[in-house]
Amino acid sequence: MAGLTLRDVKKRYGETQVMHGVDLDIEHGEFVVFVGPSGCGKSTLLRMIAGLEEISDGTVAIGDTVVNQVAASKRGVAMVFQTYALYPHMTVYKNMAFGLKQAKTDPAEIDKRVKAAAEILQLGDYLDRSPRNLSGGQRQRVAIGRAIVRDPEVFLFDEPLSNLDAALRVQTRLEIARLHERLGNTMIYVTHDQVEAMTLADKIVVLRDGRIEQVGSPIELYERPQNAFVAQFIGSPKMNFFGPDDLAANAAAVLGKELPASQQVGLRPEHMVISDAANGVVEGKMELVENLGEYAMVHMITDTGVEFIAKTEKPPAAKKGEVISFTIKPELAHYFDAETGLRS
Amino acid sequence: MAAVTERSNFGKIAWPIVAWIVALIFFFPIFWLVFTSFKTDADAVKPEHLFRFTPTLENYTNMTQNYDYWRFAINSVITSTFATLFALFVGVPAAYAMAFNPSRHTKDILMWMLSTKMLPAAAVLYPMTFLTKNFLGIFDTHFLVIVVLCLINLPIVIWMLFTYFKEIPKEIIEAGKMDGVSTWGEIKDILIPLAWGGIASTALLTFIFCWNEAYWTVRLTTIDAATLSKLIEGNRAPEGLFFGRLSAVSTAAIAPIVILGWFCQKQLVQGLTFGAVK
């Protein structure tokens, strides 16, 4: 069984560089999620680990073996694609058996492994069907089954839930979590959905423009984001940012510190509480309330024109256009350098 | 609302009529060809026998007795079949490479291939005849006809296959790579089964193009490798005296391909309109 080591991994397409030297250590058995906005290079990085993209520079090692020059099928990895990528002309059974057949595995062994995987994924009744006669969720399970039968060291998932509807996405997410618990393999999972990232991951890797912004457990990323980008990316709705001029008159007293001009303060919507003006950290005019029953999203705008959102238990009594003050516990405020975005 | 309904009713009647008229205009020469083939050469040119004449099979019986229709037909089958097979044999891997492993120059290569179709055939007629006759000694052989038919159709074959292959999701091929399939395995076990419809219609069209090709088959053969095009050509007289005979030969030459096309209509339509909808 094996972990992964990435050292100064770069990717260039002709003149354009898309990965700028990624260093990453993944322990055996870890569930790692690559997350970031589209175009950040998360899928490219996954595909480089899979062996579907060449590594322009640096090394990728699985266990102790550097696999830069090893063919995809010999790396001990299996991949689940966003589009499932099942072979449409083969039955579910043949789809799962195909890889083993290529490896010249003994037919009895193939049968045993396919049946075992079908058992885990509850696909036993569908083995003779062709993919076109399956629902989206079933297709995704076949794709996962195809990965399981190969008994890989590392599972790679490329946005596996994106093509499923919301209800099925939650269910399949749970199934993947259970699968990880059961098999105990290393899994690397790419998504742009931070809920998937937060719920599944032992370790989240936040990427932007081909660079790692932060690596850490979900809770670390939420509680101590190292820069403004991570702070905004993790958490929904995203963190509100204010400069010194945007804050209410008594903000310094409530927060316990004067915000210098070179810094910004970040306040998470779910930490903001309606208060009287004397205890207010920020205040603004109410623009819109979205009442979702269990909580309300209050859309606000400050005098200085900064829009922000507060997540409150109940919708405020105030009407549109009225001024509301919000406060926050000082330890829940995050400070970032206004220019570099780094935590300060 | 009423106006719309009236209009679509009108359309329901008018469009089929227009379609029938157009179809008949296209069909008429074929009809006339078959019609004339049942006239004697003398009747064929007389205006008074335009529609009223005694039908005869003389032209068809003469054809098999006097100039061995079957030899020409067999040559057509052999050359068209092998030319099509070779074109696919080269075209499938070529289109596969360009569709799934494109480089910066793939578009240029495709354009270059197509540009070879822009060369006027007449421009290379003399060198071709000279080379094949005097140097290579392959003039009037099946080999030569097969090579020529294969090469002149190859650009179209590759373009068509490329378009079909492009519609196969790249991830399926990548899944194959993850499963450890060799390059040949990707083509054999994944690509060909998935693109079977496209390959079949490409093959069918190529076969038809080969069968109908006349410029080179007429000029690069005399007897041994002569195809049905050559047979028609041989019955052409400048004075136009043997219209009946010519019509019979032409009918017999196009009959196999028309019948083949009839049975494979669905594939053909798919092939001819490929890429038109997407």
Tokens representing A85 are 């990528």
Q: Residue B167: which CATH number?
A: 1.10.3720.10
* Of residues B31, B12, B21, B84, the one with CA closest to residue B251: B31
Distance between CA A195 and CA A225 in Å, rounded? 16
Distance between CA A184 and CA A180 in Å, rounded? 5
Task: For residue B63, give Cα distances in angstroms to A12, B231, B244.
Answer: 68, 10, 11
Tell me, yes or no, whether B12 lies in a domain: no
**For residue A242, with 0-12 CB atoms within 10 Å meaning exposed, 13-18 middle and 19 or more buried, which class applies?**
buried
Q: Last residue of a domain, which of A233, A258, A287?
A: A233
B19 touches chain A (CB under 8 A): no
Q: Are B179 and A98 a contacting pair at CB < 8 A?
A: yes
Shortest Cα distance from A159 to chain B (angstroms)? 13
Distance between CA B98 and CA A85 in Å, rounded? 20
Domain count, chain A: 2
DSSP string computed for A152-172: -SEEEEESTTTTS-HHHHHHH
Interface of A with B in 14-53 (CB under 8 A): 14, 50-52
**For residue A324, with 0-12 CB atoms within 10 Å meaning exposed, 13-18 middle and 19 or more buried, which class applies?**
buried
pLDDT at B54: 80
Q: Which stretches of chain A drop beneath a pLDDT of 50? A: none
Check if the beta carbon of residue B158 is closer than 8 Å to that of residue B113: yes
Tell me, yes or no, whether B110 lies in a domain: yes
B185 touches chain A (CB under 8 A): yes
Residues A199 and A309 in one domain: no
Count interface pairs A-B at CB distance under 8 A. Answer: 58
Tell me, yes or no, whether B266 lies in a domain: no
Q: Last residue of a domain, which of A233, A263, A283?
A: A233
Distance between CA A301 and CA A314 in Å, rounded? 19
Check if the beta carbon of residue A213 is closer than 8 Å to that of residue A342: no
Residues A192 and A282 in one domain: no
Q: From B185, which residue of chain A is nearest by alpha-carbon distance?
A: A102
B168 touches chain A (CB under 8 A): no
pLDDT at A302: 95
Question: Helices (DSSP H) in A6-149: which residue ranges?
Answer: 42-50, 92-102, 107-120, 136-149
Task: For residue B74, give Cα distances in angstroms to B152, B193, B255.
Answer: 21, 31, 14
Check if the beta carbon of residue A155 is closer than 8 Å to that of residue A80: yes
Looking at chain B, the number of H-run helices and the number of E-run strands are 15, 0
Distance between CA B180 and CA B157 in Å, rounded? 29
Which of A13, A43, A53, A73 is most worth mutating to test chain B (most B CB atoms within 10 A of its CB)? A73
End-to-end alpha carbon distance in chain B: 32
Going by the DSSP 8-state scheme, the letter that residue B131 receives in this structure is: I
Residues A226 and A255 in one domain: no
Residues of A within 8 A of B187 (CB-CB) are: none
pLDDT at B237: 66
Residues A212 and A262 in one domain: no
Distance between CA A136 and CA B232 in Å, rounded? 58
Residues A176 and A295 in one domain: no
Domain count, chain B: 1
Check if the beta carbon of residue A74 is closer than 8 Å to that of residue B180: yes
- Token pair 């950290």 is at which residue? A281
Going by the DSSP 8-state scheme, the letter that residue A306 receives in this structure is: -
CA angle at A159 for the pair A31 and A208, rounded to the nearest 5°: 80
Residues A209 and A125 in one domain: yes
Tell me, yes or no, whether A344 lies in a domain: no
pLDDT at B4: 54
Q: From B195, which residue of chain A is nearest by alpha-carbon distance?
A: A89
Tell me, yes or no, whether A103 lies in a domain: yes
Q: Are B175 and A146 a contacting pair at CB < 8 A?
A: yes
Task: For residue A329, give Cα distances in angstroms to A231, A256, B19.
Answer: 17, 10, 78
Tell me, yes or no, whether B204 lies in a domain: yes
Distance between CA B169 and CA B194 in Å, rounded? 10
Number of C-beta neighbours around residue A74 at 10 A:
12
Shortest Cα distance from B158 to chain A (angstroms)? 23
Residue A121, beta-bridge partner list: none
What is the value of ipTM here, to two decimals?
0.84
Which of A13, A79, A139, A149 is most worth mutating to test chain B (most B CB atoms within 10 A of its CB)? A79
Residues A262 and A206 in one domain: no
- Token pair 């594939």 is at which residue? B267
Range of the domain at A119: 4-233
Amino acid at A71: A
Tokens representing A68 are 């830069």
Number of C-beta neighbours around residue A223 at 10 A:
13
* Of residues B142, B155, B166, the one with CA closest to residue B222: B142
Determine the 3-state secondary structure of A60 from DSSP.
strand
A241 touches chain B (CB under 8 A): no
Distance between CA A71 and CA B181 in Å, rounded? 11
Which of A87, A142, A151 is most worth mutating to test chain B (most B CB atoms within 10 A of its CB)? A87
pLDDT at B78: 96
* Of residues A331, A316, A328, the one with CA closest to residue A251: A328
B179 touches chain A (CB under 8 A): yes
Shortest Cα distance from A131 to chain B (angstroms)? 13
B184 touches chain A (CB under 8 A): no
**Stretch (H or E) spanning A65:** strand A65-66
Tell me, yes or no, whether A189 lies in a domain: yes
Residues A173 and A244 in one domain: no
Tell me, yes or no, whether B132 lies in a domain: yes
B181 touches chain A (CB under 8 A): yes
A81 touches chain B (CB under 8 A): yes
Residue A7, beta-bridge partner list: A59
Q: Which stretches of chain B drop beneath a pLDDT of 70? A: 1-8, 237-241, 268, 270-278
Distance between CA A187 and CA A190 in Å, rounded? 10
Range of the domain at B144: 69-228
Determine the 3-state secondary structure of A181 from DSSP.
helix
pLDDT at B278: 30
Tell me, yes or no, whether A289 lies in a domain: yes
Strands (E) in B141-205, as ranges, are none
Q: Are B194 and A89 a contacting pair at CB < 8 A?
A: yes
Tell me, yes or no, whether B116 lies in a domain: yes
Q: Is the dihedral angle over the CA atoms A61, A65, A70, A72 positive or is it negative?
A: negative
Tell me, yes or no, whether B240 lies in a domain: no
Q: How many residues does chain B have?
A: 278
Q: Last residue of a domain, which of A201, A233, A265?
A: A233
Distance between CA A329 and CA A258 in Å, rounded? 15
pLDDT at B20: 94
pLDDT at B1: 46
Residue A323, beta-bridge partner list: A285
Tell me, yes or no, whether B185 lies in a domain: yes
